[in-house]
Structure 1
Amino acid sequence: MRKKTAGLILAGLFAAALFIGGCGGNKQSSANADREARVVHVGYYGGTCEAPIYVAHEQGVFKKNGLTVELVKLTAATTKEGIATGKVDAVMMSPGGFKAMEQGLNIKLTAGIHTGCIQAVVPVDSPVRSIADLKGRTVGVDAIGGPPMIYLGMEMIRLGIDPKTEVNWQAYPGPQLSLAMAKKEIDAFSTWDPFPQIAVNEGKARAFFSNTHSAPYADQLCCYVGINGRVVSNEPDIAKALTRSFAEATKWVGEHPAEAAQISIDKKYTGGDVALNSALLAQYRWIADPLQARASYTYFLNGMKQLQVLDAATEVDALVGHTFVVLEE
């Protein structure tokens, strides 16, 4: 009788264990199903350096990590609106978005992506040989206060030039900067790849600065994984899956720049041509490491504060602590 009772008890415990285990599995399956059913909106601008987004979407990296992703074409203005309204869940962030983050834009940086992607050029016969020669000249950029202006401004301050009073800045759409320089409306221009390199390849310009090769900027990451703060707080599994997807795609682009360029052109995400974009992607260093990303983020915030782009009262370490999140798997 005792043996029979013991057997029944053990059978009951075994059945309960199966039931509990089954419940856990069902919950996990349900969570995965919910995550896949949720459409995640990833924004992009159409830049050469956004190749990890294109690759993650076209090569199934997002899907492999349990995400159903829709890509959304953005501008600087629609990015802010999209993050604020929850219509954009993730985007590649550059120093151009750091001022908005200081002002409260609810986006968190979670990892790095790459170095490089901005160049400054002058006409081939220009006397300008370095940033020091820009004093008293007119420089074209794609946006006042944007990353190309920030990079040049940081270097000007290092050289003792006041970028606010000793240089004249003019903003043009990126594709129009080369024409503005040819018409002598500006003496030089700085913007995102591929536009400066196109001007160089066409024999219209000569590069004198790039954050791909010029020290100390070549060692700093310029683009980062940015995730809507609501997602980080309320949907941490999605935030982790996005960060993981970016990291995997970033590594893949670094190892397969030609294939990444082909995807970018074939799917009409960006301009230029395959050979040009492949050469540019091969020059960048693709680094997802969150600790290195955090250090570069801090570096640029300090530079932007020195440029007076950030408020004088802003405490950089506090801002970093609030806006950079390392997501533990």
Structure 2
Amino acid sequence: MSNQKEFKGNVAKFVTIFLITVGIFFTFNNHSIYASSSYKYGSITVPAKNGTICGAPNYIAYEKGFFKKNGLKANLVAKPTNIGDLEAGFSSGKYDALNGDFQYLPAIQNGAQILAAGGLHQGCIEVLVPKNSSIHSVKDLKGKTIGTPGQGSTGQYVATIALQHAGIDVKSGVVWKTYDYDLLTKAAEKGEVDAIATVDPFAYQAQKQNHFRVIVNNNNSSNSTKMAKMGMKKSGSCCYLYLPQKLVKENPAKAAAIVKSYKEAAAWIDKHPSETASILLNKKYVAETKFVNHKNVANLIKSYHFSLKGKEGKEDLKYYAEQLKKAGFLKSNTNVKKLIKSAYYKN
């Protein structure tokens, strides 16, 4: 009798353990299936973190779930300042999307495997001088030294467009120096450079905290004729969404999901500038200061008019290519129409 009870007890234990094991297996398996179905297109890596406000589409697509909604598991990493590192990242498959400026046109002409997929917003770049500077117009920049975040940066290109519209040779008529974003203002105050060309929030901080004066602003959303005469295109795009050619060719559905995520994020930002500012500052994507605060960041976001522009963005990129060709940053024999056609994403 005791053996029979012991046998029944062992059977009961075995059945219990078996049921628990089966339950764990199915729970884990169902979770795996759910996880994989949540991210239909797998993972993407986005070089996003560089402290700028114009990178908002990266952060909002992530924080508000647009990447996840479209089947993408996004990993936001630091954005290299060197364009060569970004090119290498795209070519190797390390990076899958980029919120960047029109500065990549020369790189694309030289073989970088990158496609522009639409303009994301209007201008966020300015050329500034210290408050007591003798410089009051673009023409006054002749013979001066201009600080930028990097050789071939969009800050340099915006200044370049304004210089050539003022009849100043962009290579022999000025001197270029490069500094980290957060050192540009100090360089000008110390007299190491006469002017700086940089992006928000660094440009905005220089205005509000250091009382720098704006000579050029590439945000011409007001359709100012004065700004247009400096070469600042009316309602022109500034930052673009870029995709690696390899991804577009090998996985067009995934590429389309990335584009859709950014389109939805840009539209959301335009409707919710205040909440966007809160996310950028609270999540430390943008460093908060006395002047780079919620109210001011929200106002800057409003002024950028976020929206993923396909056809219009392509026309804007063509304009920038023409300007860079005139300045000598693109080859003198460049067929601009052909370059833009090959450099633009077709969905």
| TM-score interval, normalised by the smaller of the two chains | 0.7 to 0.9
Letter in 1 for 2:68: K
| Equivalent position amino acid for 1:133 in 2 | D
Instruction: Tell me how large the CA RMSD over aligned residues is.
Output: 1.8
For 2:346 and 2:308, the matched residues in 1 are separated by 12
TM-score, L = length of structure 1: 0.86
Q: Which string of whole-angstrom CA distances, capped at 9 and with x for unpartnered residues, describes residues 85-129 of structure 1?
A: 001011113122111111111111122200111011111122212
**Closer, same or farther: CA 230–198 of 1 in aligned 2, 3 Å:** same
Question: Is residue 91 from structure 1 mapped to residue 98 from structure 2 by the alignment?
Answer: yes
Q: Secondary structure at the match of 1:222?
A: strand
Contact 2:219/2:236 (<8 A) preserved = no
Q: Is the 8 A contact 1:141 1:169 kept in 2?
A: yes
Structure 1 stretch 35-44 or stretch 153-162: which is displaced more?
35-44
Asked if the contact 2:87–2:113 (Cα under 8 Å) also holds between the matched residues in 1, the reply is: no
Where structure 1 has 5 or more consecutive residues not aligned to the other structure, the ranges are 1-28
Partner of 2:165 in structure 1?
Answer: 158
Find the counterpart in structure 1 of residue 305 from structure 2: 285
Q: How do residues 72-91 of structure 1 correspond to structure 2 at under 5 angstroms?
A: 72-75=77-80, 76=82, 77-91=84-98
Q: Distance in 1 between the 2:108 and 2:186 partners?
A: 33
| Corresponding residue of 1:207 | 214
Q: Supply the distance in 1 between the matched residues of 2:167 and 2:55 (Cα, whole angstroms).
A: 34
Contact 2:42 2:71 in 1 (8 A): no
**Does residue 196 of structure 1 match 2:203?**
yes
Q: Any idea what the Cα deviations from partners look like across 1:284-315, whole Å, max 9, x if unmatched?
A: 12231200010011111111111110112321
- The CA distance in 2 between the partners of 1:35 and 1:149, in whole Å, is 39
Paired residue secondary structure (1:153): helix
Summarize deviations over 1:236-269 as a string: whole Å, max 9, x none. 1111111111011101111111211111121122
1:138 aligns with 2:154: no
Pick aligned residue for 1:169 from 159, 176, 188? 176
Query: How far apart, in 2, do the equivalents of 1:230 and 1:91 lie?
Result: 14
In 2, are the aligned partners of 1:115 and 1:284 still within 8 Å (CA)? Answer: yes
Alpha-carbon distance between aligned partners in 2 of 1:180 and 1:144, rounded to the nearest angstrom: 16
Runs of 4 or more above 6 Å deviation: none
Distance 2:203 2:118 in 1: 27
Q: If you compute each CA radius of gyration, which structure gives the higher value, 1 or 2? A: 2
TM-score (norm 2): 0.82
Percent identical residues: 30
The reply on whether 1:181 has 2:185 as its aligned counterpart is no
Residue 312 of structure 2 corresponds to residue 306 of structure 1: no
Q: Does 1:40 align with 2:44?
A: yes
- Show CA shifts across 1:6-57 (max 9, x none): xxxxxxxxxxxxxxxxxxxxxxx99x83953621112214221010110010
Q: How many residues align?
A: 298
Select the residue among 307, 318, 322 that pairs with 2:338: 318
Q: Distance in 1 between matches of 2:212 and 2:57?
A: 29
Structure-2 separation of matches of 1:308 and 1:37: 41
2:285 alignment partner AA = Y
Confirm or deny: 8 A CA contact 1:35 1:238 kept in the other structure: no
8 A Cα contact 1:111 1:326, kept in partner = no
- Distance in 2, Cα, partners of 1:190 & 1:181: 11
* In 2: Cα distance, 1:284 partner to 1:129 partner: 25
